[in-house]
Structure 1
């Protein structure tokens, strides 16, 4: 009697580490999406100014910028999951302390800045290890699907977290939202404890300084890489000022406060997720060219806020921005995976983030003074124009226009294997 061939296992392309890391990212993302809203309104609710919102946000970014390359070197020298667990525990505890102080009603600006800085340090140690783990956990032939599914999970938590964070901030105050963020970090750490080490042991006898130099050479040798990172150093500063400072200020002055800003951020998350479904199936050949077309949408929320658009139009602008972020993000992850050697993943990812965040502390700290000089509307128009101009300028670089997907990433999916859906 003939035997039937075994049926392909559902989601065979999703490794154990991929599933665990995606689940942990969803959990931590629920808290992270609401935390910036809660932090901004904690400052404003205690009589703080727009400038002080910028100072607290910049305090989180400064240690991130300073420590990212250290996190990248450590992640290529030791088991990445150990570093992620330790960083999540540290971030979770710092958020719990911040929540307790906010709930007590007796918190100073310096305390907000110090604990925000602690969260930034935790992120700097976590992020390069996370990037290296994710790039390593995905087979190149399934890269588009896997990265799209990962970003759909990540971005779905953005929707729920932003909406929940805004609603809870309005209903019960920002302290409870920060407490939820701390709890989510602790749950994510417990999940990541079960990740398995996959990277090869680091070469013995190498100093960390040598590792950093090797990572820098790998980063600087690819013009497409550092050109886009230079572009993002300015873009991220502008977008951070819009989302962390100007948006909450406009929401408080002209819209319905934290709840409306939470809905706008949730619309951004919907754009992220909806486009993730498209990117799971779409395999453009010119990955960076297509990705940069998405970057043109990054400045749309600033345009809507500057034009004093009503909440529905602001939500649409945030949705379009989310579309652009996913189009760029998936193609960027594919480019990194196919072009960067595995043993360099975390160091190159650290230089990527370092460059992208390098101007954010300055930009966000100056957001309040800029609004004083230019007016809030003028500062928003300036951010929008900068985003559009940089999106056009980067296309002058031939490597950005021409970098193509390799054949392994173009391999067709077997007909018997179901296409993943969110």
Structure 2
């Protein structure tokens, strides 16, 4: 039996030596993690499409649809901070597993009520808010978990692979959501999301990770939040770029969600907006592929420079009457944002204390998205007052300038990727560099 295991391990080593697999995917726990997160991303992209048509099919207005979506967004923002505290207090594996299982139940309830014809718009709002709460509880833990599933020298690969797989899954999910709603209805589409959460919960339950828990008596939740805030404020690059993300979502959220479909639809036709969104997602995927191989020493500086490319999409919508220019702007927007996101995540993973990591991620997520609902609400009135094209120019200038202004920080310019120190205990055995030779009989 022992001999059989040695032969199997040797065959596995030989296989890994010549299959072009990213280093992080050689680790079982990381494979389980990204399978769960990518599956959840697939389902999470289906639900917004299905939920929108579910509300409209129930006779809801645009205002009622906005209230249902806002209920989910508000619950998610409020709960994320507490998810960060719990992620540093409790085992992150438990947080992720429990959150995914609870999300599967809430989405199943929503699906059953829609399929059975018992759903109402207030019920969808309540269940949606509940789902936002339970899903948000695990998000900081999920992002902090990456560091626990790979050795330090494979962390860069892990961050890049995870971002690429989640983006690719979300791209497929957006398309699948429309197809499912058109063929089987909103209820069954949301049922698929429930199934993806169940798969994720199963993946997380099989993780074998060790998380160091703080010793001694813990303070209150408020004290833990205060400690997390101090950690954020201790790093200028961290709080500065969280502030930049707040500005980005405040301006771009409305430009994309409100003005984009109107401006592009009137100029090129409604199908052109879908093409623009698909091109933007293609930029995300290409950016993720680039980050698998490219990791500059001053990656945060490079990522922030490329983040300024996001300004090109609203500027192209405002100033160009050629569809290919708009598509190019959308692609570069997605490419620049994805590269920045990967390098930003890596900077946090390498430079924040492990026992504060979940709380820092919670402040990152809340700080980034807290102003987006306000931007969505104000974009329409402001654009009507000053003109849609003119406001899109303002949006593009603010997005580009805010990214470039962040480069004035010496910390943003000077933060470097830490050289990886191999962790012998966490790596696979030495692997030969050539494919295994055929065995002669």
The TM-score, its normalising length taken from structure 1, stands at: 0.85
Tell me the CA shift for residue 224 of structure 1: 0.5
Q: CA deviation at 1:331?
A: 0.7
Structure 1 CA distance for aligned equivalents of residues 236 and 319 of structure 2: 37
Asked if structure 2 preserves the Cα contact closer than 8 Å seen for 1:242 and 1:302, the reply is yes
Cα distance 1:192–1:39, how it changes in 2: closer, same or farther (>3 A)?
same
Q: Decide which moves more: 140-149 or 295-304.
A: 295-304
Q: Which has the larger radius of gyration?
A: 2
Give the number of aligned pairs.
413
SS of structure 2 residue aligned to 1:230: helix
* 2:277 match: 265
Is contact 2:264-2:317 (8 Å) kept?
Answer: no
Q: Is the 8 A contact 1:142 1:409 kept in 2?
A: no
In the TM superposition, what are the counterparts of 1:177-188 in structure 2 within 5 Å?
Answer: 177-188=189-200
2:170 equivalent in structure 1 = 158
- Per the TM alignment, residue 294 of structure 1 is displaced from its structure 2 partner at its CA by 2.5
Return the match for 1:201 from 213, 216, 221.
213
Of residues 238, 251, 254 in structure 2, which corresponds to 1:238? 251
Cα distance in 2 between the residues matched to 1:417 and 1:13: 17
Tell me which moved more, 158-167 or 112-121.
112-121
CA distance in structure 2 between the partners assigned to 1:276 and 1:407 by the alignment: 21
> Does structure 1 residue 38 correspond to structure 2 residue 50?
yes
Partner of 1:66: 78
Alignment partner of 1:224 is 2:237: yes
TM-fit CA distance, 1:85:
1.8
Q: Which residue of 2 aligns with 1:80?
A: 92
Cα distance, 1:290 vs structure 2? 0.7
Matching of residue 293 in structure 1 with residue 305 in structure 2: yes
Q: CA offset at residue 241 of structure 1? A: 2.8
Indicate the residue corresponding to 2:438 in structure 1: none
Deviates more, 1:327-336 or 1:308-317: 308-317
Task: Please report how far the alpha carbon of residue 66 of structure 1 lies from its aligned counterpart in structure 2 after TM superposition.
Answer: 1.6
CA RMSD of aligned residues (A): 3.4
1:278 aligns with 2:290: yes
The equivalent position to 2:104 in structure 1, one of 92, 96, 119, is 92
Of the structure 1 ranges 304-313 and 90-99, higher mean CA displacement relative to structure 2 is found in 304-313
Asked whether the equivalents of residues 51 and 368 of structure 1 are also in contact (C-alpha less than 8 Å), the reply is no
| Alignment deviations for residues 358-384 of structure 1 (CA, whole Å, 9 cap, x no partner) | 212322333444455455545544433
**Structure 1 residue 75 displacement after superposition:** 0.7
Alignment match of 1:327 (pick from 323, 329, 339): 339
- Tell me if the contact between 1:233 and 1:359 (Cα under 8 Å) persists in the aligned partners: yes
* Residue number in structure 1 paired with 2:161: 149
1:214 equivalent to 2:227? Answer yes
Offset of residue 268 of structure 1: 2.8
Q: Which runs of 5+ in 1 are unaligned?
A: none
- Any conservation in 1 of the 2:45–2:173 contact (CA below 8 Å)? yes
Shift of 1:332: 0.9
Give 1:278 deviation, angstroms: 1.4
For the Cα contact (< 8 Å) 1:80–1:197, is it kept in 2? no
1:24 matched to 2:36? The reply is yes
Cα distance change, pair 25–402 in 1 and its aligned pair in 2 (3 A): same
Cα offset for 1:145?
1.8
Distance (whole Å) between structure 2 residues aligned to residue 252 and residue 46 of structure 1: 26
In structure 2, relative to structure 1, the CA distance for the partners of 1:364 and 1:60 (3 Å cut) is farther
Matches within 5 A, 1:350-389: 350-374=362-386, 376-389=388-401
SS at match of 1:196: coil
Q: Residue 417 of structure 2 aligns with which residue?
A: 405
**Contact 1:35/1:181 (<8 A) preserved:** yes
Shift of 1:119: 2.9
d(CA) in 2 for partners of 1:120 and 1:338?
Answer: 29
Gaps of 5+ in 2: 1-8, 435-441
Give the distance between the partners of 1:120 and 1:75, measured in 2 at CA. 17
Cα shift readout 1:72-126 (whole Å, capped 9, x = no counterpart) = 1101111111111222223233333334455567765544433332232123201
- Please say if residues 54 and 241 of structure 1, whose CA atoms lie closer than 8 Å, have aligned partners that are also in contact: no
- Aligned CA distance change for structure 1 residues 32 and 374 (closer, same or farther; 3 Å): farther
**Structure 2 CA distance for partners of 1:28 and 1:249, relative to 1, 3 Å:** farther
Following the alignment from structure 1 to structure 2, what is the Cα–Cα distance between the partners of residues 316 and 152?
A: 20
TM-score by length of 2: 0.81
- What secondary structure sits across from 1:396 in the alignment? coil
Change over 3 Å in CA distance of 1:37–1:144 after alignment to 2: same
Whether 1:348 aligns to 2:360 is yes
Q: Distance in 2 between matches of 1:292 and 1:171?
A: 42
Q: How far apart in 2 are the matches of 1:109 and 1:389?
A: 41
What whole-Å deviation, never above 9, does each CA across 1:158-202 have from its counterpart, x for those lacking one? 221122223334555544433322221222122212122421123
Aligned counterpart, 1:125: 137
- Classify the secondary structure of the residue corresponding to 2:136: helix
Contact 2:34 2:165 in 1 (8 A): yes
